[in-house]
Amino acid sequence: MSDLTFNKVAGAVLATGLAIVGLRELSSGVFTQEPVAKPGYAVEVAADTGGGAAAPEVPPDWGTVLPTADVKAGEAVFQKCKSCHNADNGGANGTGPNLWGVVGRKPGSHPGFAYSPGMEAFGAKQPIWDYEHIYEFVKSPQAYINGTKMTFVGLKKPEDRINVIAYLHSQGSSLPIPTPNPAAAAAAAPAAAAPGAAPAAQPVATGSTATPAAGAGGPAGQGPGAPTQQAAKPGNPN
């Protein structure tokens, strides 16, 4: 009797296995899998056809741009910095140092502020905050001085940086504006136009044959390229 029971169990197991194999073969015949012609989640990246890396930015000629910069526009941009800085004579330090007289001041030297080791190292080799160093620093602080406390993403538009520097220069600067250098101004002029910017406006038929003045782009009464509204909070040297 025990042999008969074993045979029944073994037969049932075998039949079950055969049924599973048969169903698998049957389903594979009914539901044929075909290779996918195109992945459903493929992300196509456009090839870079811009002809290589972008040309390096040429610093402006400070003797040319500062006298005509929009100080009021620079002050408006600086309003967004006031949660960390102020530029008042004798003003207290905040998250960042007071910036009265920062143009021409030695980096990392304002009394009472705890500077980062990166800024202290920068100050050890750079005697003053001149126009070019501030210009490059506020473009991308973390990239320019490794380890600085200033985590601001930076001012990418050259005109915004020029106007902010013009405002800071009006706040106790000890660094005079240099004499204009026409050759340097001409070299920097092509780099002033942002990539992808709209072409210069063409003259309209108003009875005049005069073309628009080169470099005009801001509202009347403002300096070259008055800044547009900023989406991120700019910072200044700390």
pTM: 0.60
Please work out, in degrees rounded to the nearest 5, the angle formed at the alpha carbon of residue 90 by the alpha carbons of 236 and 175: 55
Mean pLDDT lowest among 15-19, 115-119, 123-127, 189-193: 189-193
Distance CA 217, CA 170 (A): 23
Query: Mean pLDDT of all residues in the chain?
Result: 76
- What is the mean pLDDT of the segment spanning 31-40? 56
Report pLDDT for 164: 96
Please work out, in degrees rounded to the nearest 5, the angle formed at the alpha carbon of residue 32 by the alpha carbons of 29 and 34: 155
For the beta carbon of residue 172, count every other beta carbon within 10 angstroms. 17
For the beta carbon of residue 212, count every other beta carbon within 10 angstroms. 12
Per residue in 161-204, pLDDT tens?
Answer: 999 999 999 999 999 999 999 998 888 876 555 444 444 444 44
Report pLDDT for 191: 52
**Residue 107: closest CA among 91, 124, 92:** 124
Q: 104's torsion region: left (phi>0), alpha (psi -120 to 50) or beta?
A: left
pLDDT band at 217 (very low <50, low <70, confident <90, very high): very low
Tell the residue number behind the tokens 């380890």, with chain if given: 147
Report pLDDT for 24: 75
Distance CA 88, CA 120 (A): 23
**pLDDT at position 51 over 80:** no
Report pLDDT for 47: 44
**210: Cβ contacts below 8 Å, ≥ 6 apart:** 203
- What is the mean pLDDT of the segment spanning 230-235? 46
- What is the mean pLDDT of the segment spanning 24-53? 55
- What is the mean pLDDT of the segment spanning 141-146? 93
Report pLDDT for 92: 93
More confident residue, 237 or 74: 74
More confident residue, 52 or 232: 52
Report pLDDT for 215: 39
Domains and CATH numbers, the chain: 62-189 (1.10.760.10)
pLDDT band at 218 (very low <50, low <70, confident <90, very high): very low
**pLDDT at position 10 over 60:** yes
Rounded to the nearest 5 percent, the helix, strand and coil shares of the chain are 35, 0, 65
